[in-house]
């Protein structure tokens, strides 16, 4: 049985493992069909995709047409202007075969100039607020990557009461004192304000570097079930966090298997240190 909890103050009881639908971006419809059948079987009830994830929205569309009421549906726009965001949302609604998104997110809003554009008059946020008032979307979030993302999310929350944030969190990143401090500050602010916290890169092993890329993920993921177990258990032991699954459908069953067996106990520091050493874990972001 997958653990669930309220998705911030939205009123939705989401599975703590959210399907990261970037995994469908370069896959066939038959792969998507197999994956969606698996999600329904396991009871995953929250999907996170993006306009920029290749064919992901189109792959989800046939399933949303039939099973829209089974999922909290989130997508993202990478556009920063009013007109760009309007076109992006319209395209996403069409591709996803729905007349309403549960969550629309400003995608990877970390760059200073892009941040200013998005929040300016006739910026993307202005349109997303109008889309919410018109009933096209229900909630608005913000996402990002990199070591500056937690600080940028706090700046974003200063400007608008977002319903959710999304950012990287895993054991190697928790070893970075500055990032861990910023993450904790954001965490505390969000939990007190009812803002959902989604995390990504939970089973990252490190950058691919010179290795052959054999997964759809842009980072090298953990592969062994025992290693994935520790990474998933460690993340879910933080009681207010959601885990967005990795961008490779073939790893999805291993992540869900770990989440189903999570017993609320955090792996010990010794266990995580051993995993870091034996799996040669590396932080994805160093600057």
Name the residue among 12, 48, 9 with its Cα closest to residue 245: 48
With pLDDT > 90 as the criterion, what percentage of the chain qualifies? 97
97-154 residue pLDDT tens: 999 999 999 999 999 999 999 999 999 999 999 999 999 999 999 999 999 999 999 9
Report d(CA 171, CA 55) in Å as an integer: 31
| Element housing 199 (H / E) | strand 196-200
Using CA of residue 228, residue 233, residue 238, residue 242, what is the dihedral sign? Answer: positive
User: Residue 16: its pLDDT value, please?
Assistant: 98
Q: Which two tokens stand for residue 51?
A: 């306009």
Using CA of residue 187, residue 216, residue 285, residue 233, what is the dihedral sign? Answer: positive
10-67 residue pLDDT tens: 999 999 999 999 999 999 999 999 999 999 999 999 999 999 999 999 999 999 999 9
Report d(CA 37, CA 109) in Å as an integer: 32
User: Residue 169: its pLDDT value, please?
Assistant: 98
Name the residue among 190, 148, 261, 219 with its Cα closest to residue 10: 190
191-216 residue pLDDT tens: 999 999 999 999 999 999 999 999 99
Q: Are 101 and 57 in contact (CB under 8 A)?
A: no
Show the DSSP H helices in the chain as ranges: 29-42, 56-67, 82-95, 112-119, 124-133, 149-159, 171-174, 177-193, 225-236, 252-260, 269-278
Architecture per CATH, domain 4-278, reads as Alpha-Beta Barrel (3.20)
Report d(CA 132, CA 137) in Å as an integer: 5
User: Residue 116: its pLDDT value, please?
Assistant: 98
| Element housing 48 (H / E) | strand 46-48
Report d(CA 135, CA 139) in Å as an integer: 10
Q: How does strand 13-15 pair with strand 196-200?
A: unpaired
**pTM of the predicted protein model:** 0.98
| pLDDT over 80 (residue 228) | yes
User: Residue 286: its pLDDT value, please?
Assistant: 80
147-173 residue pLDDT tens: 999 999 999 999 999 999 999 999 999
Mean of pLDDT over the chain: 97
Name the residue among 122, 165, 169, 111 with its Cα closest to residue 140: 165
What are the residue boundaries of the structural domains of the chain, listed by start? 4-278
| pLDDT over 80 (residue 7) | yes
């Amino acid at each position: 049985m997958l653990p669930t909890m309220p998705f911030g103050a939205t009123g939705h009881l989401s599975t703590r493992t959210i399907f990261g639908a970037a995994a469908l971006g370069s896959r066939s419809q038959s792969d998507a069909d197999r994956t969606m059948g698996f999600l329904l079987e396991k009871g995953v009830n929250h999907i996170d995709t993006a306009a920029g994830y290749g064919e992901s929205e189109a792959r989800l569309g046939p399933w949303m047409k039939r099973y829209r009421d089974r999922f909290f549906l989130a997508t993202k726009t990478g556009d920063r202007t009013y007109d760009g965001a309007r076109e992006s949302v319209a395209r996403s609604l069409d591709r996803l075969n729905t007349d309403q998104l549960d969550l629309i997110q400003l995608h990877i809003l970390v760059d200073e100039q892009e941040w200013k554009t998005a929040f300016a008059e006739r910026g993307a946020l202005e349109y997303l607020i109008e889309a919410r008032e018109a009933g096209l979307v229900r909630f608005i979030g913000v996402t990002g990557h990199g070591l500056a993302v937690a600080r940028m999310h706090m700046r974003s929350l200063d400007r608008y009461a977002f319903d959710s944030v999304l950012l990287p969190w895993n054991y190697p990143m928790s070893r970075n004192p500055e990032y861990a401090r910023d993450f904790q500050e954001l965490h505390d602010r969000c939990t007190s304000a009812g803002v959902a916290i989604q995390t990504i890169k939970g089973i990252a092993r490190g950058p691919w570097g010179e290795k052959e890329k054999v997964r759809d993920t842009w980072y090298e993921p953990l592969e062994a079930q025992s290693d994935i177990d520790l990474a998933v258990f460690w993340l879910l032991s933080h009681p207010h966090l959601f885990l967005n699954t990795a961008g490779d459908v073939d790893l999805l069953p291993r992540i869900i298997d770990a989440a189903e067996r999570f017993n609320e106990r955090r792996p010990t520091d010794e266990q995580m240190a051993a995993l870091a050493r034996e799996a040669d874990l590396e932080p994805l972001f160093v600057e």
